[in-house]
Amino acid sequence: MNVQEMAAGALGLPAALYGAGIAVRNRLFDWNILPSRRFDVPVICVGNITVGGTGKTPHVEALVATLGKEYRVACLSRGYKRKTRGFLLVEKHDDPARVGDEPAQIKNKFPGITVAVDGHRVRGIEHLLALSPRPEIIIMDDGFQHRHVKPDITIVLMDYRRPVYTDHLLPRGRLREPASALRRADFIIVTKCPPGISPAEQATITRRLAPGARQRVLFTTMSYGSITPLDGTSPCHLSPDTPILCLTGIAQPAPYQRHVETLAGRVIPLPFADHHAFSGKDIRQIIKKYREIPSNCAYIFTTEKDATRLSSLSLPPEIAGKIFYIPIEPRFITPADVFIQTITEHARQNKRG
């Protein structure tokens, strides 16, 4: 028996106990013993059953961009790792430590929509509906396990490189719930696919997901945007010989790093934990790593989420003008007509009502 098999065996019992607890909780909701509330505005839930890194924020932003053209949209998040509690409305350029990095990023990109944080989702929606004017549609970010809210449409994301049907429950694997929980979803979106994924492979993945008759499986890939300076003004002049310090604090940094490697000849990775709150010590470490690069034309590239956290800090001039980020957005590989039509029809019905 190898080390991996021994580790899997040791974690098998905790995973089974965790799974039993999740099963009991879900049954209590299914039998209406635990209450689940539906609201009088459409609530779209975007979530996953995997811990971290499926691309929720870019997909939420894509929904906001589409729906915000016609409707008053509100986005509700728990504000993961924020240092505050309760319900808060997010302001433009808000401190990520106060509201969470993802809500701060969404508000900065879409200042015309309402963004709020509250770990108690029912209370958060009640506060949103008390606003004037009230939202016409609410997007609940990372809300799949928050079953006290009954969404009108549920979207679950699965990372192409980490299929749920080959994974295991926590702590043995990365699943918050068993793969059977996908039955609660209206749409299953397989994210971060290779742009050239074949119809045959899509069919194989769909077959293994075994969707119900009412469910739809869609496929997206990540599209990278323009290189953007953190300070809003500094130029970036890349050449095949330009070295780049790739600074990341996300759950799955490998795809981003691979993209950065297509832009320059030498990439030095500097990974931190997901949602890492950068400290003065971290900035000194970044400067030290940057100084070790034998070039006077090196840059620091980071993700949009990390840029949101870094922008709230007072950065030394030595690196302030050298930091750039690359926005990402999902691009549908499979036709998204039914997906968009279903969501907009819910919003139209509510608006007519």
Contact 186, 345 (CB under 8 A): no
Report, at the CATH architecture level, how domain 35-224+331-352 is classified: 3-Layer(aba) Sandwich (3.40)
Phi, psi dihedrals of residue 157, rounded to the nearest 5°: -105, 145
pLDDT tens-digit map of 88-115: 999 999 999 999 999 999 999 999 999 9
Say which residues have a Cβ less than 8 Å from residue 153's Cβ, sequence separation at least 6: 42, 43, 44, 45, 186, 187, 342, 343, 346
pLDDT at 26: 96
The CATH number of 228-326 is: 3.40.50
The domain locations on the chain are 35-224+331-352, 228-326
Contact 111, 95 (CB under 8 A): no
pLDDT tens-digit map of 263-297: 987 999 999 999 999 999 999 999 999 999 988 88
Q: pTM of the entire structure?
A: 0.93
pLDDT at 243: 95
Same fold, 35-224+331-352 and 228-326: yes
pLDDT at 3: 44
Chain center to CA of 303: 12
Q: How many CB atoms lie within 10 A of CB 228?
A: 14
